[in-house]
């Protein structure tokens, strides 16, 4: 009978411990169930050694998961920052071509709202069928694709589009679209192509003339002394014209390269202009042109490169003399405007029609092509003037009336800035 009692007592004790263990497990399970992922996990201490070991293991596992979760959050935050602040447009779409994410640059390119675009079919937000067809091809075929597209959203834009498929377990479930604005690159390519064409044309004309007269001389015209002299004079003139063209092209190239290592020094404008007037004196007298120099700031100096400043003023004054008929007048004025130097070169020449003024500073642009070439112009003089002015952070304006003359007004800061304006491209 005593053994039965002992056995019953043991069974009752085990059942009691089991109930205790179950209650502790239920309490631990409730704590875990109520726990927030961003809070530390604090489990109750158990009287059971085996259960306490399990609690320690769960707490260590939770800490490891917490560290991994924090790393993932930080990585995601970095990726979101990179995505949002990328200098190229970025758009992510799912396999149904619905927009999942779009960054600020892409919104700017397509003039759309990021929040309004999310979740919408790409063609609903970005009304560009060409782009939609490219994205569709990538999602269907799982192959990356690149192409250029043109946009007309107020401003003409040319975008280089690169689309890459997003794959999970070798299955395409979306695509990432990268958009780079190449409008300026395309425009520069066009400018270069036009420059090469213009240079070829400008060089071809005197070269053809030189070759033609040289062949005529070799065919026997050199035996006629008078003809020979006349032809050689023309050849010499055309060779000079080619030389001026090449020199002006090299000058323009140097200006466009934005060489910041040029020497900067104080320039006395009065002395510089006076020297130029001595150089052009014979040309002015040959046409009986009266040149007047008004200097309201004799000792005014500006910071700059003297060679470039000399070239700027020589081009303006020489042009004024060239395009002013005999008996006309050229007036030059400089004055101090506080922070800036004011320079005016005014003539009573042939003037410029209003429709030509906006293009006046373009390379090789001539109002009267035949007349300009006859006067020895290369078509680059005013382009050089514009680049010199811009390299000095200055401005240039043109006032002109057909048949009544032209005035160029230049304003230059007297103190040199180490950060000149963006270069002007024609």
With b for 16 or more beta-carbon neighbours within 10 A and e for fewer, the 298-325 pattern comes to: eebebebbeebbbbbbbbbbbbbbbbbe
Confidence of residue 79 (pLDDT cuts 50, 70, 90): low
Q: Is residue 418 pLDDT above 90, yes or no?
A: no
pLDDT at 393: 87
Can you tell me the mean pLDDT for 135-150? 90
Q: Which residue has the higher pLDDT, 84 or 171?
A: 171
How far out from the chain centre does Cα 397 lie?
Answer: 25
- Low-confidence winner among 199-203, 221-225, 303-307 (lowest mean pLDDT): 199-203
Dihedral over alpha carbons 216, 219, 220, 226 (to 10 degrees): 10
CA–CA dist 277, 282 (Å, integer)? 9
Can you tell me the mean pLDDT for 146-160? 80
pLDDT at 49: 64
Which range in 247-251, 362-366, 410-414, 415-419 is most confidently predicted, on average pLDDT? 410-414
pLDDT at 225: 82
Strands (E), 239-328: 265-268, 290-295, 301-304
Q: DSSP state, 15?
A: H
Q: Is residue 419 pLDDT above 50, yes or no?
A: no
Pairing of strands 265-268, 329-337: unpaired
SS3 152: strand
Round the average pLDDT of the chain to a whole number and report it. Answer: 78
Is 176 within 8 Å of 150 (Cβ atoms)?
no
Q: What is the pLDDT of residues 240-298, one digit of tens each?
A: 777 767 776 676 666 666 655 677 888 898 999 999 998 888 888 999 999 999 887 77
Number of Cα atoms under 13 Å in the Cβ half of residue 332: 21
Is 296 within 8 Å of 265 (Cβ atoms)?
no
With b for 16 or more beta-carbon neighbours within 10 A and e for fewer, the 387-396 pattern comes to: bbbbbbbbeb
Q: Is residue 168 pLDDT above 70, yes or no?
A: yes
Can you tell me the mean pLDDT for 380-397? 85
Is 273 within 8 Å of 293 (Cβ atoms)?
yes
Confidence of residue 83 (pLDDT cuts 50, 70, 90): low
Q: Which residue has the higher pLDDT, 134 or 186?
A: 134
Q: What percent of the chain lies above the pLDDT cut of 70? A: 68
Is 27 within 8 Å of 12 (Cβ atoms)?
no
H or E, element range at 124: helix 122-125
CA–CA dist 81, 102 (Å, integer)? 12
CA–CA dist 217, 209 (Å, integer)? 12
Can you tell me the mean pLDDT for 1-27? 55
Is 231 within 8 Å of 221 (Cβ atoms)?
yes
pLDDT at 423: 41
Q: Which residue has the higher pLDDT, 408 or 39?
A: 408
pTM assigned to the model: 0.51
Can you tell me the mean pLDDT for 368-375? 49
Confidence of residue 224 (pLDDT cuts 50, 70, 90): confident
Give me 30's structure tokens.
């409730």
Can you tell me the mean pLDDT for 165-190? 85
pLDDT at 420: 45
pLDDT at 117: 85
Q: Which residue has the higher pLDDT, 345 or 360?
A: 345
pLDDT at 372: 47
Among 422, 296, 322, 328, smallest CA distance to 378 is for 322
């Amino acid at each position: 009978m005593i053994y039965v009692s002992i056995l019953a007592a043991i069974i009752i004790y085990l059942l009691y411990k089991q109930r205790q263990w179950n209650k502790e497990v239920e309490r631990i399970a409730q704590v875990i169930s109520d726990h927030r992922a961003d809070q530390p996990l604090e489990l109750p201490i158990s009287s059971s050694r085996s259960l306490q070991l399990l609690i320690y293991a769960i707490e260590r596992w939770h800490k490891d998961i917490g560290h991994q979760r924090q790393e993932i959050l930080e990585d995601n935050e970095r990726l979101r920052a990179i995505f949002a602040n990328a200098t190229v447009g970025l758009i992510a779409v799912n396999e149904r071509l619905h927009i999942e994410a779009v960054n600020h640059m892409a919104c700017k390119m397509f003039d759309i709202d990021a929040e309004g675009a999310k979740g919408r079919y790409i063609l609903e937000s970005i009304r560009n069928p060409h782009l939609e067809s490219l994205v569709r091809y990538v999602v269907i075929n799982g192959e990356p694709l690149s192409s250029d597209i043109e946009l007309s959203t107020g401003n003409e834009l040319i975008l280089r589009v690169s689309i890459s498929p997003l794959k999970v377990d070798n299955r395409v479930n979306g695509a990432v679209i990268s958009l780079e604005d190449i409008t300026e690159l395309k425009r520069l390519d066009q400018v270069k192509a036009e420059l090469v064409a213009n240079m070829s044309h400008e060089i071809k004309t005197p070269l053809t003339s030189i070759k033609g007269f040289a062949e005529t001389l070799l065919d026997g015209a050199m035996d006629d002394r008078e003809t020979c002299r006349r032809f050689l004079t023309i050849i010499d003139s055309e060779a000079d014209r080619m030389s001026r063209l090449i020199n002006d092209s090299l000058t323009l190239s140097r200006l466009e390269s934005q060489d910041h290592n040029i020497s900067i020094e104080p320039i006395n404008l009065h002395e510089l202009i006076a020297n130029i007037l001595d150089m052009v004196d014979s040309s002015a007298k040959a046409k009986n042109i009266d040149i007047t120099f008004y200097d309201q700031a004799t000792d005014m100096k500006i910071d700059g490169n003297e060679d470039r400043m000399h070239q700027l003023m020589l081009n303006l004054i020489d042009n004024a003399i060239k395009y002013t008929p005999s008996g006309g007048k050229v007036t030059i004025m400089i004055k101090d405007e506080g922070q800036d130097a004011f320079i005016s070169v005014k003539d009573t020449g042939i003037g410029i029609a209003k429709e030509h003024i906006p293009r006046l500073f373009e390379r090789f642009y001539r109002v009267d092509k035949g007349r300009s070439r006859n006067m020895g112009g290369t078509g680059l003089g005013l382009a050089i003037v514009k680049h010199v002015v811009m390299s000095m952070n200055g401005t240039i304006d043109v006032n002109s009336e057909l048949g009544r003359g032209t005035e160029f007004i230049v304003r230059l800061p007297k103190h040199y800035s180490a950060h000149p304006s963006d270069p002007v491209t024609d």
